[in-house]
A and B are shown apart, each in its own frame.
Chain A
Amino acid sequence: MAQATTSTNNAPVIQAEKVSGPWRDAWRAFRRNKIAMAGLIMIVFFVLIALLAPVIAPYDYKAQELADRLKPPSSEHWFGTDDLGRDLFTRVLYGARISLWVGTFSVVGSIILGTLLGILAGFYGKWVDMIISRMFDILLAFPSILLAIAIVAILGPSLQNALLAIAIVNIPTYGRLVRAKVLGLKNEEYITAARSIGMKDSGILLRHILPNSLTPIIVQGTLGIATAIIEAAALGFLGLGAQPPAPEWGKMLSDSRQFIATAPWTVVFPGVSIMLTVLAFNLMGDGLRDALDPRMKN
């Protein structure tokens, strides 16, 4: 195993440090990756912004100051104002809350359901696998944003429904990933060994299969947050996600697109925010993949 070879090389070092587990080793590898660390720092930064938005924000994100419509960035309004005279800096700060919230929770939702279905399909095989895998195929047959639009159209446009739609759309991604991983793990000798000491299926699933399927889920989940943020922004842009006056970045883009020539700051700041958060999650996801995936180790 790749893990074994990397670690036996520096066995004496580990001995001295005493604490060395698979997760610690991964963290050590991750820390060495500067780009991934940059991603992590950006994410921490955005999370802080989201949490502290009410403290940092100079204005109320709903407060309209019609006299100050479409004001360019100034010391008073750092990012300028929008067509209703709302402070864009404040709105972008609050927007981080929405995007991170939607991104994280939709991914958590898809991971929980996807992992559950994937494990069942991979572990029990036969007709269970047939049914679950065909369900995934059907979901994947639709372009994801189209499917999300359809789901929101049925449920009615709102941020919660957008989140739900994004979660549903992404279930197969995780489901298939976990299923493939479980199929491989099922034939590992330590699974047979666990059976040979009398462990139950449920115990084997929880103690052996699930923890060992975790790494690809973590990697995919991090990258998935980026996708989910974009999808949420897209739904917001189409008017199917967050409803006014919620300061959702995608919604802000669509509200201001008619002023793109006259007041470019109204689209630049929300647009750049989307880009940076997505970039941060992608960088961190790539770094996690390098740190966690044994095939990437040499």
Chain B
Amino acid sequence: MEPTLVVLLYSTLAAGAAALGALPLVRRGRIPVVAIGWANALASGLMLGSAYLLISAGLAYPPWIGGVGAVLGIVYVWFTHAAAGTEELDLNQLEGTGDVYGYKVLLVNTLHSAPEGVAIGAAAMVSLPFGIFVALAMAVHNIPEATALSAILRSRGVRLDTAAALGVMTNVTQVLLAVVTYALVSAAPGALPWALGFAVGSLIYLVLSELLPESYRQAGHTTIAVLTILAMGAVVLLGDLPR
């Protein structure tokens, strides 16, 4: 198959996996707050593991390029938060929030998916199996992320199927940027270490600014730390295989 199609296929799969995130809400309308914390911790670990794999792939290039790329990635996420007025936004509030909160959460999730797409596209350029692996890690990551999102939307009266659809929609930026990044670095291979660095910086910053802070309050320090490092370890171990 055409490599670009492979990237499209797997990043679409990753976005579609978000629909599974709504499943835990089918039987009972709500899930306990600690479960959102667990979901965020697993999502964090998968992302940190992916960031580690991208760093080790980037070590084949001059480190300063990756470093500058990473700083750009950090600044990108920081800036989009600041510009959208969401830098102090908690992604876990089930009650007592204002009217615009639901829209802001959707916005944050959509912006957050863009660097994930860059990660998939850049990884696919390192090697196609590596790109597929990162896409699968993102697919798994998208499920708990969508669970947290659906729980918030449900608590605001959104129908479950609509919540699931919105969960997938917020990941469309991921598919778009995966394909665009892959096409760009195929055309200009010199851009690859920049893209790898950008993905690393933005993934790490996303974990630290969006996912981890509130999960500590929801589920306790030790639980969150154990789940995060388990998910990270699994990605590190499995990620060694396709390369």
Q: Do A and B bind each other?
A: no
Task: Name B's A-contacting residues (CB within 8 A).
Answer: none
